Structure 1
Amino acid sequence: MDTAAPPAETAPPHKDWAIVGLIGMGHYLSHFYMLTLPPLFLVWREEFDVSFGTLGLSIALMSTVTALGQTPVGFMVDKYGARPFLVGGTLLMALSIAGMAFAPSYWVILALAVLSGIGNSVIHPADYAILAGSVDKSRMGRAFSLHTFTGNLGFATAPPVIAMLLLVMDWRGALLVVGLLGVPVVAAILWKSRILTDQPKARDTGPAISGRDLLLTRPILLFFAFFLLSAMAGSGFTAFIITVMGELWDTPLAIASMILTGYMTGATGGTLIGGWFVDRSTRHMPFVIGLTLGAMVLILSLSTVPMPGWLPVGVALVAGLMMGSSRTPRDVMLRNAAPPGQVGKVFGFVSSGLPLGSAVMPVPMGLLLDAGYPHLLLPVVVVLLGLSLFCAGLGNGAARARAAAPRAVAAE
């Protein structure tokens, strides 16, 4: 295992943090817009006379289009450069949300949700390609962690912001305001675009492998499984932990809700710890293994050990902190597994496992609850985390083996 010291800082840090700030603003908006719509469901149900199932279709369409679009966008990012796609995707995403303010029917909102999903599909492949090419390697871990942090912040702030806006204006005004927030972000990216450098291109020094074949190689498929399974575990925990604690231990709703809040707070803050560690050590896989195993034990204890008072909140907070801290090493390991010039398609493909995993898990978990087995939900989460860890270890090992016997990989 490589234990060499990380590279010394060589580039001025202020430029790197400016780059991370620009990319982070777009990433914040992409997550913010994903949770802008749910707070409006009650209003839309009355105004458009549609069911909750139909209302949920707006989020399903946006998430599905985002997931399916990331891989083809990744190919285009690698071929043509990331900056035009980042600008166009962010603008399309923002204007689609703003356009919903003028929707005469709910079906127009669904069409605009699809357009917003197309814009959102650009963010991950373009962001990681620019970060890989622009940020000094000695600060890559902190850059990736701040990127993840801004996305989580977008998720956290969208519902309260929409709720506050609804106190002073109608839903159309609220959507127009938050949608137009993307315009100055796009302007800032254009204004400072000279500091955004695309990823290094591949060197044509030997036999080439197509981009499609690259995504079907063992390390990339294993990393996809890692992302997919970890997202399934996270989705299962966050969707039903409140219900599970009530069913198993009669935990009061206020405390059960704080268990979820504690976990999400820890997961968000933990990303920054992970970034700090990555820039100071190359032992990424042992770090991920230790943290994930610790989180698995704590999550399992919530369903097997009776805990007094607010203790479960502290347990969930620490579990979230461990899981959040493992995310940046995960992203950096994937970045290291991506051949030069192929970061866009690799991140586009592999990170599509995150929304797919989040979409897959709630229904079977709900069926397990309906069947009267609440005690099995958190063990299922732990098993999924264990499987994700197994895939991560195999994927990282396969990527390191391939790097030890390198061959040129040309962009398709």
Structure 2
Amino acid sequence: MTADTHAVPPSGGFFSDAKVIGLIGIAHFFSHFYILLLPPLFPTLREQFGVSFLELGLIMTVFSGATATTQLPFGYLVDWFGARWILIGGLALEAAAFLFIGFGDSFWGLLALMAVAGVANGVYHPADYAILSASVSGPRMGRAFSLHTFAGFAGFAVAPPLVIFLSEMIGWRSALVVCGIAGLVTAAALLVSAQSLHTKQKPHEGAAKGAPDKASSRALLFSFPILMCLGFYTMTAMGSGGLNNFLVSALNLVHGTEIPVATGALTGYLIGTTIGILVGGVLADKTSNHNVIAAFCFFTTAIMIAMVASVDLPEPLLLASLTVQGIMHGMIMPSRDMIVRSVTPDGQYGKVFGFVTTGFSIGGIVAPMIFGFVLDEFAPELVFYAIAGFMFLSMFTVFTSARWRRLPQQGAA
């Protein structure tokens, strides 16, 4: 499905698009930045609050759980009230939560503030995608999604070294306060530029007045193509979660790869992913066959990761292989988002993206347990074959969602 099946977003030219993409990218940067802000400080927090690493892990579980359970409700609010104020409010609230963590002296206060931050973090995916879909011109939509994802990965990359540097310079409390203030300043910048962040009208505007049609919204979310998109996000999160968390350990156990070498291979994969995201954005704007791009990348990655399990590659080839796999994985992401957009009726981007992106949380919760169990109880090479299996399953979700992609529009007519 191409962009002409949707209402045409306001067209203000390159600079207008660049402004919107930049503002939303910065907001998404902080979303990911705050996710990884505390884990580098765990040794310090453990001593400061007298808690275990298990208890510190609990705060991240609470954060992730709060995000997972609020994305869909925020999606409905985005579609009904508009995205810009919800996004600005969510960023300000999350920034304030981390600022107050810097002043806190109680573990239970820390836990409560992380729950608040997790709720606030639930606004980004539904609000970001709704604004980009409504504000950026169609020919640049793929690159908009690409840069949006790239900005999030940049937030992941920046958070650990920056918070450690600041904590060594001014102390961990002041470091969190500074990071919180940075988010509040960004929220203020979004507030000043709010009129540039267009949003769709209420999906039921022009129809009979009254409450939204909950039955039709439920039917949309549980329609076959949207469920396949949810599966798409979940499978990709499972595969990438297996690689991110267990690649180093699995390489060491299967081939005796030294930890520094295996870590270098993982770094190559992550760098390749960031490159692939940018390349994938350009490709996504040049074709409407997003499912073909995604399927090719899934198939190639599945074959290559299975080869890593079966062949003890020399160090240069191992690094090259994982880097190429990262590029392929990154190239999938803009096409993935374009596929979701293609099966989503106008005015309902918030709830749909809020729903399907819960697949990130599902994969993030389930993958560590599955791969950890496999690594403990079975042959470690099965980790690689399981990742390849999730890649093949992802191919199925891509083609089935494309095959049925007209269904949501028909149901919403």
Report if aligned partners of 2:3, 2:138 keep a CA contact under 8 Å in 1.
no
The reply to whether residue 304 of structure 1 matches residue 332 of structure 2 is no
The 3 A distance-change label for structure 1 pair 402 and 170 is closer
The 3 A distance-change label for structure 1 pair 2 and 120 is closer
The reply to whether residue 362 of structure 1 matches residue 368 of structure 2 is yes
Match of 2:298? 292
The reply to whether residue 61 of structure 1 matches residue 62 of structure 2 is yes
Report if aligned partners of 2:235, 2:391 keep a CA contact under 8 Å in 1.
yes
Query: 1:336-375 to 2 correspondence within 5 Å?
Result: 336-375=342-381
Rounded to whole Å, the distance in 1 between the matches of 2:166 and 2:300 is: 40
Q: Which moved more, 1:91-100 or 1:384-393?
A: 384-393
Report if aligned partners of 2:98, 2:177 keep a CA contact under 8 Å in 1.
yes
The reply to whether residue 408 of structure 1 matches residue 412 of structure 2 is yes
CA displacement at 1:2 relative to structure 2: 7.6
Rounded to whole Å, the distance in 1 between the matches of 2:170 and 2:391 is: 43
The reply to whether residue 314 of structure 1 matches residue 320 of structure 2 is yes
Match of 2:228? 222
The 3 A distance-change label for structure 1 pair 106 and 248 is same
The 3 A distance-change label for structure 1 pair 250 and 221 is same
Match of 1:114? 115
Report if aligned partners of 2:79, 2:350 keep a CA contact under 8 Å in 1.
yes
Aligned AA for 2:152? G
What SS is found at the alignment partner of 1:210? helix
CA displacement at 1:310 relative to structure 2: 2.6
| Deviation per residue, 1:64-104 (Å, 9 max, x gap) | 11111000000011001111101110000100011101111
Aligned AA for 2:136? V
Rounded to whole Å, the distance in 1 between the matches of 2:335 and 2:403 is: 14
Match of 2:238? 232
Rounded to whole Å, the distance in 2 between the matches of 1:179 and 1:330 is: 32
CA displacement at 1:113 relative to structure 2: 0.4
Query: 1:120-269 to 2 correspondence within 5 Å?
Result: 120-199=121-200, 201-202=202-203, 210-269=216-275
CA displacement at 1:400 relative to structure 2: 3.4
The reply to whether residue 398 of structure 1 matches residue 399 of structure 2 is no
CA displacement at 1:389 relative to structure 2: 1.6
Q: Which moved more, 1:231-240 or 1:305-314?
A: 305-314
Which segments of 5 or more consecutive residues in structure 1 lack a partner in the other structure? none
Q: Which moved more, 1:339-348 or 1:59-68?
A: 59-68
Match of 1:41? 42
| Deviation per residue, 1:193-247 (Å, 9 max, x gap) | 11111025547689x7521221111111111011111101110111000001111
Report if aligned partners of 1:133, 1:200 keep a CA contact under 8 Å in 2.
no
CA displacement at 1:285 relative to structure 2: 1.1
Report if aligned partners of 1:3, 1:283 keep a CA contact under 8 Å in 2.
no
The 3 A distance-change label for structure 1 pair 35 and 305 is same
Rounded to whole Å, the distance in 1 between the matches of 2:3 and 2:170 is: 57
TM-score, structure 2 normalization: 0.94
Match of 1:96? 97
Rounded to whole Å, the distance in 2 between the matches of 1:385 and 1:146 is: 23
Q: Which moved more, 1:51-60 or 1:10-19?
A: 10-19
C-alpha RMSD of matched pairs (Å): 2.0
CA displacement at 1:3 relative to structure 2: 12
The 3 A distance-change label for structure 1 pair 64 and 29 is same
Rounded to whole Å, the distance in 1 between the matches of 2:3 and 2:224 is: 24
Over the matched positions of the two proteins, sequence identity in percent amounts to: 38
Rounded to whole Å, the distance in 2 between the matches of 1:283 and 1:222 is: 17
Report if aligned partners of 2:277, 2:332 keep a CA contact under 8 Å in 1.
yes
The 3 A distance-change label for structure 1 pair 22 and 122 is same
Which segments of 5 or more consecutive residues in structure 2 lack a partner in the other structure? none
Match of 2:32? 31
CA displacement at 1:397 relative to structure 2: 1.2
Rounded to whole Å, the distance in 2 between the matches of 1:194 and 1:205 is: 26
CA displacement at 1:335 relative to structure 2: 0.9
Paired positions, count? 404
Report if aligned partners of 1:205, 1:408 keep a CA contact under 8 Å in 2.
no
The reply to whether residue 330 of structure 1 matches residue 336 of structure 2 is yes
Rounded to whole Å, the distance in 2 between the matches of 1:32 and 1:260 is: 20
Report if aligned partners of 1:288, 1:329 keep a CA contact under 8 Å in 2.
yes
Aligned AA for 2:131? I
Rounded to whole Å, the distance in 2 between the matches of 1:129 and 1:372 is: 44
The reply to whether residue 85 of structure 1 matches residue 89 of structure 2 is no
Rounded to whole Å, the distance in 1 between the matches of 2:356 and 2:386 is: 23
Rounded to whole Å, the distance in 2 between the matches of 1:199 and 1:293 is: 36
Report if aligned partners of 1:223, 1:334 keep a CA contact under 8 Å in 2.
yes
Aligned AA for 2:253? E
Rounded to whole Å, the distance in 1 between the matches of 2:48 and 2:365 is: 27
Aligned AA for 2:175? A
Rounded to whole Å, the distance in 1 between the matches of 2:393 and 2:274 is: 23
CA displacement at 1:21 relative to structure 2: 0.6
Report if aligned partners of 1:201, 1:340 keep a CA contact under 8 Å in 2.
no
Rounded to whole Å, the distance in 1 between the matches of 2:203 and 2:116 is: 32
